[in-house]
């Protein structure tokens, strides 16, 4: 790929032709705050936090929408940039229901401390599912905002809990439109959009219905891209370890990580390195695995019917029982159903066994088994 050279904050860097200024900076580990940019979404320029100065170009430009070019001189920090960036952030915070963010005591407060600013605080970061992973917190910390020059004007609208897997709390939404763009660009569904204008603007479905009454497919691609605690899973877990695997549901073969805690699958994320899915998952892969894997009635050992009752058995015993009974039949007297939840290799061996050993073409599989 063709390379270009540019200067960011006086540092010469090499970038790939076609990168934006933001991508070029990120490739050189130069931090530029942003809340609407997401690597696999089209440049948007919505949050206006990534503004930079570029020599011989007028005004402050959004780094996420400006192509990097050969010989460019970029400045990411200056009094003028910081003033505009700070005001943009303060306006965003003025509608965000979390006084913790700009509180001077923030670093010293634990989850259950009594808040000295309010007697009964229910909208602190410590009660938000995104606490600790929230990108807004990171930007506020970077900008060291500890007081607002504009007055607070937060909303109090009901949380949409209609979806069985995740909630939309519009009170915490910063209108970055990542969810809308993910639904449009990644899934091609277009279940949500930015509706209304001005202060009334919000993420909404067609007709402003609850999400479950829309064409939403519950894939959660919007949820994983939300930078704050506005789109969050019904339950949030912090896994002890992750196990890389392939989704067992269909032949696409999406690669994923199972988050494991106390030997239970508690969450799932797509693997960005997965050649078939690049981190994306559908509703089955993202939300449909933990329940059956953790189910107390899940079979974890073969069962052999003895005197009309199914009893636990070893694999040797079970295989001997099947082999013994198969010997009583031949050819088309036998049919075998395999499963798409098995690996390609296992299914290949099964059809080979049925055709070559049992002597029949009665072999099928079902994606739902």
Scanning 295-368, the segments in alpha helix (DSSP H) are 315-326, 344-352
Among positions 189, 195, 304, 336, the unique one binding ligand SF4 when judged by CB under 6 A: 189
- From the centroid of its chain, how far is CA 168? 14
For ligand SF4, give the closer residue by CB, 76 or 166.
Answer: 166
Q: How far is the CB of 138 from ligand SF4 (least distance, A)?
A: 9
Residues 214, 153: Cα–Cα separation, whole Å: 30
Q: How far is the CB of 21 from ligand SF4 (least distance, A)?
A: 22
Q: How far is the CB of 326 from ligand SF4 (least distance, A)?
A: 32
Tell me if 192 contacts ligand SF4 by CB under 6 A: yes
Tell me if 224 contacts ligand SF4 by CB under 6 A: no
x/- string (CB under 6 A) for ligand SF4, residues 132-171?
--x-xx----------------------------------
Tokens of 52: 């930079």
- Residues within window 239-258 making contact with ligand SF4, judged by CB under 6 A: 247, 249-250, 252-254
State whether residue 152 is helix, strand or coil. coil
Look at phi and psi of residue 314 and say left if phi exceeds 0, alpha if psi is from -120 to 50, else beta. beta
Q: Please check whether residue 229 is in contact with residue 131, taking contact to mean a CB–CB distance below 8 angstroms.
A: yes
Q: How far is the CB of 280 from ligand SF4 (least distance, A)?
A: 8
Tokens of 250: 């269909």
Tell me if 64 contacts ligand SF4 by CB under 6 A: no
x/- string (CB under 6 A) for ligand SF4, residues 272-301?
-----x---xx-xx----------------
To which residue do tokens 């959009």 refer? 193
316 DSSP 8-state letter: H
Max Cα distance, the chain (Å)? 88
Tokens of 229: 């605690």
Query: CA torsion sign, 319 to 321 to 326 to 327?
Result: positive
- The residues of the shown chain that bind ligand SF4, judged by CB under 6 A, are 96, 98, 101, 125, 128, 130-131, 134, 136-137, 172-179, 182-183, 187, 189, 191-192, 203, 216-222, 225-231, 247, 249-250, 252-254, 277, 281-282, 284-285
């Amino acid at each position: 790929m063709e390379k270009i050279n540019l200067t960011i904050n006086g540092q010469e860097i090499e970038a790939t032709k076609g990168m934006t200024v933001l991508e070029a900076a990120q490739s050189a580990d130069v931090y530029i705050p942003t809340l609407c940019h997401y690597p696999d979404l089209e440049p948007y320029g919505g949050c206006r936090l990534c503004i930079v100065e570029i020599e011989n170009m007028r005004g402050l430009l959004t780094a996420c929408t400006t192509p990097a070019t050969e010989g460019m001189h970029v400045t990411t920090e200056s009094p003028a940039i910081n003033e505009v960036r700070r005001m943009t952030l303060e306006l965003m915070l003025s509608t965000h229901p979390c006084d913790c963010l700009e509180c001077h005591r923030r670093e010293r407060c634990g989850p259950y401390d009594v808040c000295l600013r309010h007697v009964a605080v229910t909208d602190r970061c410590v009660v938000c599912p995104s606490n600790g992973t929230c990108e807004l917190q990171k930007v506020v910390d970077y900008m060291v905002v500890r007081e607002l020059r504009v007055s607070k004007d937060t909303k109090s609208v009901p949380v949409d809990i209609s979806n069985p897997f995740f909630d939309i709390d519009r009170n915490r939404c910063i209108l970055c439109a990542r969810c809308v763009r993910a639904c449009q660009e990644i899934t091609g569904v277009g279940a949500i959009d930015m509706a209304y204008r001005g202060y009334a603007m919000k993420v909404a479905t067609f007709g402003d219905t609850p999400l479950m009454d829309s064409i939403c497919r519950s894939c959660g691609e919007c949820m994983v891209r939300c930078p704050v605690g506005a789109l969050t899973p019904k339950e949030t877990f912090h896994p002890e370890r992750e196990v890389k695997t392939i989704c067992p549901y269909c032949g696409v073969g999406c690669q994923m990580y199972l988050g494991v805690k106390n030997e239970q699958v508690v969450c799932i994320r797509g693997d960005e390195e997965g050649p078939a899915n690049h981190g994306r998952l559908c509703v089955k892969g993202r939300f449909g695995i933990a329940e059956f894997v953790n189910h107390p009635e899940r079979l974890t050992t073969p069962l052999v019917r003895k005197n009309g009752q199914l009893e636990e058995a070893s694999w040797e015993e079970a295989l001997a029982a099947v082999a013994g009974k198969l010997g009583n039949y031949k050819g088309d007297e036998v049919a075998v159903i395999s499963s798409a939840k098995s690996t390609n290799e296992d299914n290949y061996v099964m059809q080979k066994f049925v055709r070559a050993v049992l002597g029949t073409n009665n072999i099928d599989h079902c994606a739902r088994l």
